Structure 1
Amino acid sequence: MLNQFSRTQLLLGEDGMKKLANARVAVFGIGGVGGYVCEALVRSGVGAFDLIDDDKVCLTNLNRQIIATRKTVGKYKTAVMKERMLEINPDVNVQTHNCFFLPENADDFPFEDYDYIVDAVDTVTAKIALVMKAKEKGVPIISSMGAGNKLDASQFKVADIYKTKVCPLAKVMRRELKKRGVRKLKVVYSEEVPTRPIEDMSISCRTHCICPPGAKHKCTERRDIPGSVAFVPSVAGLIIAGEVVKDLCAASPK
């Protein structure tokens, strides 16, 4: 019978669509990359999601984040993403967690129930903790490397972390994962040399903070505030979603 996923089923088949419908995917970080991951996965027929992020939509997110509009500024990103996903597929199951993932709260998440984990967070500490928890529970994980300060979306590649190059974040991740005995990790990374942001204090978040009221973590807390554009993190998110869909369809049923 014709339905909203009929065109997708022409490529993935009935069995593939059933696997997606029965899958539960956790997306950590609902920003420029993670938002597009969610968008593509819900449109592909994934049946259940956990969305983890403590940020609220900020005016500066409008340049790149799919959930950011003038109407959503100030709202929790997880809530906005959930509402959007339900408008796309009313049958989707979406659990939201308004918090940042940290080693201290890792046990608060039902990792054993996840079929796939997407790491779209932007701190090394959280990324390492996510990878270690995924490995401990035997859950597939894919990590996004740096998408900020980039202008060429065609430079993104899918690779094992130990085969990456150029990306500064990937270099740090290689070193830290090697220390911990992690032998492999699927990542999406760019081989583009990062562009150095233009120093302009008149538009700097450090001197003109416009984070939404009640924001627990402000951008001014970051050591560096990267530049961003609409057409780079979105591509990274779509590539990640593609890998998740293909891996889920290829996986053996639980």
Structure 2
Amino acid sequence: MWIVAIRQNTGCERLSVPERFLPLYVLPALNEPSTMSSPTAQPDLTTSLDGSETADHARRFGGIARLYGAPALAAFEGAHVAVIGIGGVGSWVAEALARSAVGTLTLIDLDNVAESNTNRQIHALDGNYGKPKVEAMAERIAAINPFCDVRLIEDFVEPDNFAATLGGGFDYVIDAIDSVRTKTALIAWCVEKKQPLITVGGAGGQLDPTRIRIDDLALTIQDPLLSKVRGQLRKLHGFPRGPKAKFKVSAVYSDEPLIYPEAAVCDIDEEAEHVTTSPGHTGPVGLNCAGFGSSVCVTASFGFAAAAHVLRTLAEQARLVRRA
């Protein structure tokens, strides 16, 4: 079978994928009107399966129903979630959602898998180096959850393509981007469009996954990436100021002070913008610094925290609908 994926500036391109990686979803070119289904239009996958497929589905995801409840499982199967950034955090988000029976996933990233990703990204394996991250992740998801439709956008999200890539509507968007400019614009766009979103802060330079928290973006601490994003949202997009003013945007962050490597092993531009991360400590904005170390124990936990938040929200919505 062919998977049709969006590639930067090239429209659609066909990718040859082994039959064991079926089924995957076909996505329209970015310059065409979006045909993404609205969240309410997603099907209950179990109703369209034959007997053997239903039994297989029940074996794979019965544990989800026993934990969250049958209505929540149906909500997960009918949900469409976008994961933006399929790296040290986003790859684990996608993994968790696929293993939780989410019915449709849109994966967005332009990067390829590299050997330097091995310490923190789940798709960084021999045989995947040099492969687009979205493609490598889609192949993995198909082996985990063959009932999941996976849509691939091999591009970076930018303000000029938000409408094309995200305008079709999602039950949730998970932002695992490390660019301050794009992250700021994406959050503002989602808030304006009332698109449910959870954003993820910087996962590098930390050792302790038990320090990870989820709170309103306005209240996060110890995170230079989110600190800069907060400032830009207030300055450029009119988000509220004040110690008690909330943005009504959930954010994953850690309250652990960042660990900076010695100058000899950290290629940090001395002219790079720095912010105060804790009393007496400053650090560069963003996570592109080659010197930031990272632990999979933390990056994966950031991803799992974001995925768990989305699943809890979908389960709660299903519970409320059932009560109504």
TM class by smaller structure: 0.7 to 0.9
From 246, 255, 261, give the equivalent of 1:191.
255
Aligned to 1:224: 289
Aligned to 1:65: 121
Aligned to 2:51: none
**2:238 corresponds to which letter in structure 1?**
G
Q: Is it true that 1:234 corresponds to 2:287 in the alignment?
A: no
Q: TM-score, normalization: structure 1?
A: 0.88
What does the per-residue CA deviation read over 1:12-45, in whole Å, with 9 as the maximum and x for residues that have no partner? 1111011110100000000010000000111001
Q: Percent identity?
A: 35
What does the per-residue CA deviation read over 1:86-140, in whole Å, with 9 as the maximum and x for residues that have no partner? 0011111001011111112222214342110000010011111211221122111
Task: Give secondary structure in 2 for the equivalent of 1:197.
Answer: coil
From 169, 177, 181, give the equivalent of 1:125.
181
Aligned to 1:212: none
Q: May I ask how many residue pairs the two structures share in their alignment?
A: 237
Q: Is it true that 1:157 corresponds to 2:213 in the alignment?
A: yes
Where does structure 2 lack aligned partners over 5 or more consecutive residues? 1-54, 240-246, 270-286
Query: Counterparts of 1:34 and 1:245 in 2: how far apart (Å)?
Result: 15
Aligned to 1:213: none
Instruction: State the 1:223 CA deviation.
Output: 6.3
Aligned to 1:243: 309
Say which one has the larger Rg. 2
Query: Counterparts of 2:268 and 2:136 in 1: how far apart (Å)?
Result: 23
Contact 1:119–1:144 (8 Å) recurs in 2: yes
From 63, 74, 83, give the equivalent of 1:27.
83
Task: Give secondary structure in 2 for the equivalent of 1:232.
Answer: helix
**2:229 corresponds to which letter in structure 1?**
M
Aligned to 2:283: none
Contact 1:134–1:141 (8 Å) recurs in 2: yes
Query: Counterparts of 1:205 and 1:48 in 2: how far apart (Å)?
Result: 39
Q: TM-score, normalization: structure 2?
A: 0.69
Where does structure 1 lack aligned partners over 5 or more consecutive residues? 207-221
Contact 1:102–1:125 (8 Å) recurs in 2: no
Q: Which structure's relative contact order is higher, taking Cα pairs within 8 Å and 6+ residues apart? A: 1
